[in-house]
Structure 1
Amino acid sequence: MSAIVWIAAGSLAAWLWLLLCQGFFWRTDIRLPARTDPDDWPSVCVVVPARDEAAVLPASLPSLLAQDYPGRAEVFLVDDGSSDGTGELARELARTHGGLPLTVDSPGEPPEGWTGKLWAVRHGIGLARARAPEFLLLTDADIAHAPDSLRELVAAARTGGFDLVSQMARLRVESVWERLVVPAFVYFFAQLYPFRRIAVKGSRTAAAAGGCVLLRTDAAERARIPDAIRHAVIDDVALARAVKGSGGHIWLGLADRVDSVRPYPRLHDLWRMVSRSAYAQLRHNPLLLAGTVAGLAVVYLVPPVALAVGLAAGSAWAATAGGLAWLLMTVTYVPMLRYYRQPLWLAPLLPVTAFLYLLMTVDSAVQHYRGRGAAWKGRTYTRPDTALDES
């Protein structure tokens, strides 16, 4: 029993450290910072990379075209080799709904060393550059924006002097598997990249949420976006690192009125979402994979196991340490469940979700070594993810 007691004590110590020393990652009150309307509204170009997005475009693109923005703004949708009529559907939606001007174009297949999304973003930024915008809004084709989204983002960037303002879109949570997995996905992301630290100048923590990134054009040029991150599978984090690394001031928080409309009804859908990039997050490093698996086990799986073993074997120390660690885990997860308007009885089930993520991470590595890499919409990227290209 001494071994389980010590392991449980280690898990409890880890949770005390996470609770107090990891940037209060579990709090969900990081929303758009204080802002005032500028006297002159800068011009903005919205760049939307899209590949086979006909299923979600009717719920997302009209929200961009309907932006209530006082300055000059237009939308560039870049059709990344779609086979489902995404480009033509976008033109039809613009004809039907009106609103901001829309340009639809396609760059063709990406060259060697580029991911499809970043090649599309590069093309969209190139089209936008002719308009000389002060800001670029990079947003995914499955993201729906409230009518004042662009206005609020620009006001926040101008007021706070930010070069990058990003919001973590509220993901869809309707199916049973979405309820179990999605809030935990954001919870784990915030644990890795505490939002409070991201906005601190000089801190090493940098991240963004690729679904909604407002970026100053001159900051993009200084950071060589997107060329410097052209083969990054986890492009949003790579983008934030590049901007912060070039001296930019960045901010990331949770969104109130920016939503993902993409459904993930089955476990298989969520599994693919996580596993396609999990091993890239670990830089395709077997040692980091082993450390991550061990860390997930100690932090998330040990508490309920220690509680059960302690109660069964009559070890008060193991049961107490495991129970307290599980309690801290549960309590820190409650704010995220409230943010997603989910029942609080899901909180004690976080170890189950963490076990699923552990399996997804291992599967991501297995797929990599089978030569399948990060597969997404008919493309496979086998080159290791790189945050910054030094060439």
Structure 2
Amino acid sequence: MSPLAWIALTSLAAWLWLLLGQGFFWRTDQRLPRWTAPAHWPSVVIVVPARDEAGVLPESLPSLLRQSYPGRAAVVLVDDGSTDGTGELARKLGEQGEGLPLTVTSPGDPEPGWTGKLWALRHGIELARASGPDYLLLTDADIAHEPDSLRELVAAATANGLALVSQMARLRVATGWERLVVPAFVYFFAQLYPFRWVNREPARATAAAGGCVLLRTEVAERAGIPESVRHAVIDDVAVARAVRRAGGRVWLGLAERVESVRPYPRLADLWRMVSRSAYTQLRYSPLLLAGTVFGLAVAYLVPPVAVCAAVVPGVPGGPGSAVAGWAGLLAWAVMAGTYVPVLRYYRQTLWLAPLLPFTALLYLLMTVDSAVRHRRGRGAAWKGRTYSRPEAAPDR
């Protein structure tokens, strides 16, 4: 057989293993566990770090203030050095009607060794702890919640003995680039951290989605959050690991009533979202980068190349490479089939499934670009701040 045939068979074997041996990552059935209402509803403070979020705050903040929660709850918005009037806008939104009490505060510039978001969370959590809440809901400023979201999160946590409950918010999918790239973001995240592996005991993976994290205050204090993860760029995974090290149970799933309202209309916007932390995920390792590029190429790019080589006249290894063609076609079919549940979750056309190799190529290029940025000292740039090479969160 030709070298291409062997590589295509390797790709097919990899996809069969991913289909059955990677925690059924492609399924979308990990939703909030069943719950019953507690006899006494715990107190909660919602902490929202916000930096230059005036464009999305009118959609997200009112959804938090209107939470129909039976217990005591309040909202703390931390204005993290915004230059677009985020703090003033938040105060006006809080004065427009009845709802949960809102406190708007600002921590000043981050101290050395802190990433901006975690510095804002530190200030907000300290302020929240003054009222002694049982739980903290850490949610991003672009996340909108249905009115019963907080009630369901707390009930699921109390009924199942969970120290951390995190939902991956349904991201905005409106433009062509968002349809092509956003569902794949969730797909790749679940492939890296299969939700079933996170939620089982004992766990085989640990992760959270930073846009929506309900955290038991007592466990957060025991885990030293946020001080113990102050260096982390990928703060959600770092927080989940700290909670698990402190003996708390972690749950992660897809959201039904929590959505991101942040638009990513251009490919450049999506590119920045992915590339700012991709190399951090690889622990700034050139070896891990090379392995990732190789793995993505074999798994996602080889199948369509093998099919084209088998059917297109004049292509090297053409009509004689039937083995490569069939192996590539089967691998491509398995790949597309595992992508279908995520597309359905996002209510997108299933014709996007065969385009996953092209989307994977974009993610491959974003990852390489992330490494190049770090090598050039530009690191994880976000809203005017650059973290050239922050220390990765401890994994022990």
One-letter amino acid of the counterpart of residue 112, structure 2: E
One-letter amino acid of the counterpart of residue 107, structure 1: P
Between the aligned partners of 2:190 and 2:363, the Cα distance in structure 1 is: 15
- What is the TM-score of this pair, normalised by structure 2? 0.97
One-letter amino acid of the counterpart of residue 168, structure 2: M
Picking from 323, 330, 347, the partner of 2:353 is: 347
Between the aligned partners of 2:269 and 2:225, the Cα distance in structure 1 is: 30
Task: Determine if the alignment matches structure 1 residue 374 to structure 2 residue 367.
Answer: no
Q: Equivalent residues in 2 for 1:317-356 (5 A)?
A: 317-356=323-362
Q: Deviations over 1:345-382 (max 9, x none)?
A: 00000000000000000000000011000000000001
Q: Deviations over 1:172-198 (max 9, x none)?
A: 000000000000000000000000010
Q: Deviations over 1:50-89 (max 9, x none)?
A: 0000000000000000000000000000000000110110
Q: Deviations over 1:127-174 (max 9, x none)?
A: 011111110000000000000000000000001100000000000000
Task: Provide the secondary structure at the position in 1 that maps to 2:76.
Answer: strand
**Post-superposition offset of 1:310:** 2.3
Aligned residues: 390
**Post-superposition offset of 1:241:** 1.0
Q: What root-mean-square deviation, in Å, do the aligned CA atoms of Structure 1 and Structure 2 show?
A: 1.0
**Post-superposition offset of 1:97:** 2.9
**For the Cα contact (< 8 Å) 2:76–2:128, is it kept in 1?**
yes
The equivalent residue for 1:357 is 363
**Post-superposition offset of 1:343:** 0.5
**For the Cα contact (< 8 Å) 1:228–1:389, is it kept in 2?**
no
Q: Deviations over 1:256-313 (max 9, x none)?
A: 0100000000000000000000000001100000000001001100111111112341
Between the aligned partners of 1:333 and 1:114, the Cα distance in structure 2 is: 37
Q: Deviations over 1:220-262 (max 9, x none)?
A: 1111111111010010011111111221100000000100000
Q: Equivalent residues in 2 for 1:244-255 (5 A)?
A: 244-255=244-255
The equivalent residue for 1:151 is 151
Moved more, 250-259 or 1-10: 1-10
Between the aligned partners of 1:203 and 1:138, the Cα distance in structure 2 is: 23
Between the aligned partners of 2:183 and 2:108, the Cα distance in structure 1 is: 36
Task: Provide the secondary structure at the position in 2 that maps to 1:207.
Answer: coil
One-letter amino acid of the counterpart of residue 252, structure 1: L
Task: Determine if the alignment matches structure 1 residue 214 to structure 2 residue 214.
Answer: yes
Between the aligned partners of 1:142 and 1:156, the Cα distance in structure 2 is: 23
Between the aligned partners of 1:231 and 1:61, the Cα distance in structure 2 is: 27
Task: Provide the secondary structure at the position in 2 that maps to 1:243.
Answer: helix
Q: Equivalent residues in 2 for 1:195-234 (5 A)?
A: 195-234=195-234
The equivalent residue for 1:39 is 39
Task: Provide the secondary structure at the position in 2 that maps to 1:64.
Answer: helix
One-letter amino acid of the counterpart of residue 18, structure 2: L
One-letter amino acid of the counterpart of residue 202, structure 2: G
**For the Cα contact (< 8 Å) 1:231–1:383, is it kept in 2?**
no
The equivalent residue for 2:4 is 4
- What is the TM-score of this pair, normalised by structure 1? 0.98
**Post-superposition offset of 1:199:** 1.2
**For the Cα contact (< 8 Å) 1:51–1:86, is it kept in 2?**
yes
**For the Cα contact (< 8 Å) 2:293–2:364, is it kept in 1?**
yes
**Post-superposition offset of 1:385:** 4.2
**For the Cα contact (< 8 Å) 2:241–2:395, is it kept in 1?**
no
Do the aligned partners of residues 385 and 175 (structure 1) sit closer, same or farther apart at CA in structure 2, a change above 3 Å counting?
farther
Task: Determine if the alignment matches structure 1 residue 299 to structure 2 residue 299.
Answer: yes
Task: Provide the secondary structure at the position in 2 that maps to 1:254.
Answer: strand
The equivalent residue for 2:164 is 164
**Structure 2 alignment gaps of length 5 or more:** 313-317
Query: Which stretches of structure 1, 4 residues or more, deviate above 3 A after TM superposition?
Result: none
Between the aligned partners of 2:179 and 2:48, the Cα distance in structure 1 is: 28
Between the aligned partners of 1:28 and 1:200, the Cα distance in structure 2 is: 16
Q: Equivalent residues in 2 for 1:1-391 (5 A)?
A: 2-312=2-312, 313-314=318-319, 315-388=321-394
**For the Cα contact (< 8 Å) 2:374–2:389, is it kept in 1?**
no
**Post-superposition offset of 1:316:** 1.4
**Post-superposition offset of 1:389:** 8.3
Between the aligned partners of 1:30 and 1:362, the Cα distance in structure 2 is: 31
